[in-house]
Amino acid sequence: MISKLFLKNLLKVLGIFLAIILVIFTWLRIYTRHSQGVPVPDYFGMSVEQVEKVTKDKKLRFAVVDSVYVTSAKKGTILDQSPPPGFKVKKNRTIFLTMNAINPEKVMVPNVAGTSLREAKAVLEMRGLIVGRILYIPDIAMNYVLRQQIKGKEVPEGTLVPKGSKIDLVLGRGQSNQQVEVPSLVGMRLYEAEQKLINAYLNPGAIIYDNSVLTSADSLGARIFKQRPDYNSSGITMGSPIDIWLTIAVSKIPGADTTAINNAENQ
d(CA 135, CA 265): 35
Query: From CA 194, how far away is CA 64, in angstroms rounded?
Result: 23
Give the Cα separation of 244 and 193 in Å (integer): 9
**Which domains does the chain show, CATH number per domain?**
38-100 (3.30.10.20), 104-176 (3.30.10.20), 182-267 (3.30.10.20)
Q: What is the mean pLDDT of each run of 10 residues along the chain (267 residues)?
A: 65 74 70 66 92 91 85 84 88 91 87 95 93 92 94 93 91 82 93 92 94 85 93 83 94 68 46
Residue 240's pLDDT is 93
pLDDT at 176: 67
Q: Kindly compute the dihedral angle of the four CA atoms of residues 216, 222, 226, 227, in this order, to the nearest 10 degrees.
A: 70
Regarding pTM above 0.85, the answer is no
On whether the CB atoms of residues 89 and 60 are closer than 8 A, the answer is yes
Alpha-carbon 14 to chain mean position: 54
The pLDDT of residue 250: 87
Q: What are phi and psi of 56, to 5 degrees?
A: -65, -40
Tell me the residue type at 1.
Answer: M
Q: Which amino acid is at 262?
A: N
